[in-house]
Amino acid sequence: MDKTNQELIEEIRQLRTELKHMQEVVNSLVNIVMEMDDGQEEYDAIPSNQRFLDMYN
């Protein structure tokens, strides 16, 4: 199955967009972890932006 150059370019664009979304999710998770207190055992860590929760549904 050979893909045309245009199809490959579009696939690369889509992969870049997905990668950016994944980076946003990872950055949000890192920020949550960094902001948590060390002594806190129970968290109410719900992302403030619902978009991250709905991104993969």
DSSP per-residue letters across 11-44: HHHHHHHHHHHHHHHHHHHHHHHHHS-TT--S--
In a domain, 12, yes or no: yes
In angstroms and rounded to an integer, the radius of gyration of the C-alpha atoms of the chain is 17
Range of the domain at 7: 1-31+43-57
Q: Would the pLDDT of 21 be above 80? A: yes
Tell me, what's the pLDDT at 34? Answer: 85
Cβ proximity of 28 and 53 under 8 Å? no
Contact yes or no for 32/8 (Cβ under 8 A): no
Which pLDDT belongs to residue 43?
55
In a domain, 37, yes or no: no
How far apart (Å, rounded) are the C-alpha atoms in residues 44 and 57? 22
Q: What is the mean pLDDT of the chain?
A: 79
Residue 27 lies in a domain: yes
Q: What is the mean pLDDT of residues 31-45?
A: 68
Q: Based on the structure, what is the number of domains in the chain? A: 1
